[in-house]
Amino acid sequence: MLPALHKIIRTALIIFPIFVFGWLGYKEIAPSGKVAVVYDMQREMPFISKLYPKDRVSESYQDVDGDFYRTFLSEPVYFDLKPSGQFEKVAVTVKYKNGGAAPVKMGGLINKTAWAFDWRDLPPTGGKWQNRTEFFDFSELIPEGNKYRLGFSASEMQADQVAIGEVKALFVRPELNGKGTANKLLEGFVWRMNKIF
Amino acid sequence: MTAKDFSYKVSKDIFVVSSITLAVFGGLEWFEPGFVSYYISFNWLLIIPVIFGTVTVILDKNKPSEK
């Protein structure tokens, strides 16, 4: 009885990591071409960094609905996107509240030497929560290692006037379907090799 | 096979498999940052071989001598 049970356990122990590897591979390849991640201002996510620098952002507060948010104490405030793999575009959806009269700007770093961002306006919301989606092309953003820096700028704001409730990122690349799958996987492998060496 | 032998063998198998998994996943993470750590905590991958390595050593010491 026990030797047979031992054999079953041993087989399961060997199969389990292979299954996990397959699952990780599937997540990495993302055959649908889309990977969605959310940073809810509370739980840290691997694909989206916290808002920083720390001294320009409040601690995490909870509103009456139980949702978390952080306010800007000063600006600019940044966050990083860390896509795992090669993606073409990212749709960044921000849940924000802007109690000021001037728009808050959100943009991605496009020139590190000149410290230039391609700013997009997030209009005033009159103190109400609003969602806004902006699209960024990774070919136009400047990578810093394996991360891309995005930021918020609100030069006319006062402390606690601007709040961020959620940052959602949808990383997009062409869908993998039967035709050309092997070529795309090979391209991805070559891209990784180029990044490493 | 006694229950003690069984526990020892299972513990040893878990230790060996989790150690190899840790090494392989560590290599993959080095090769492609985020491949593993974005989904699985390396703390857990490290804790499992440490626990079962310790249990294996303890059970091995308590085993009656085979000589």
Binned at pLDDT 50, 70 and 90, residue B63 comes out as low
Does A84 lie in the same domain as A118? yes
Q: What ipTM does the predicted assembly reach?
A: 0.86
Does A105 lie in the same domain as A91? yes
Number of structural domains found in chain A: 2
**By the 8 A CB rule, do A94 and A120 touch?**
no
Does A106 lie in the same domain as A59? yes
CA distance A39 to chain B (A): 14
Percent of chain B exceeding pLDDT 70 equals 93
Query: Between residues 174 and 193 of chain A, which touch chain B (CB distance below 8 Å)?
Result: 192
CA distance B58 to chain A (A): 19
Q: Which domain holds residue A13?
A: 1-29
**What mean pLDDT is predicted for residues B25-45?**
89
Does A78 lie in the same domain as A159? yes
- B38 reaches A (C-beta below 8 A): yes
Does A41 lie in the same domain as A86? yes
pTM of the model: 0.77
CATH number, domain with residue A130: 2.60.120.260
Residue B65 has pLDDT above 80, yes or no: no
- Of A49, A58, A98, nearest in space to A78 by CA: A49
Does A22 lie in the same domain as A46? no
Residue B66 has pLDDT above 60, yes or no: no
**In sequence order, what are the beta bridge partners of A41?**
none
Does A24 lie in the same domain as A43? no
Provide the pLDDT for residue A179: 67
Does A108 lie in the same domain as A41? yes
Q: Which of A2, A5, A46 sits opposite B38 (nearest CB)?
A: A46
Sequence-separated (6 or more) residues with CB below 8 Å from residue A183: none
Does A107 lie in the same domain as A62? yes
Provide the b/e sequence for A65-101 (b: ≥16 CB within 10 Å): eeebbbbbbebbbbbbbbbbbebeebebbbbbbbbbe
Could you read off the pLDDT of B50-59 as tens digits, one per residue?
999 999 999 9
Q: Could you tell me the mean pLDDT of each successive run of 10 residues in chain A, 197 residues long?
A: 90 95 89 90 88 93 89 92 88 92 91 93 88 94 92 83 92 80 75 72
- A3 reaches B (C-beta below 8 A): yes
DSSP element (H, E) containing A80: strand A77-81
What value does the mean pLDDT of chain B take?
Answer: 89
Does A142 lie in the same domain as A58? yes
Does A145 lie in the same domain as A83? yes
DSSP element (H, E) containing B64: none
Provide the pLDDT for residue A28: 85
CB contact under 8 A, B10 and A28: no
Structural domain contains residue A181: no
Does A141 lie in the same domain as A74? yes
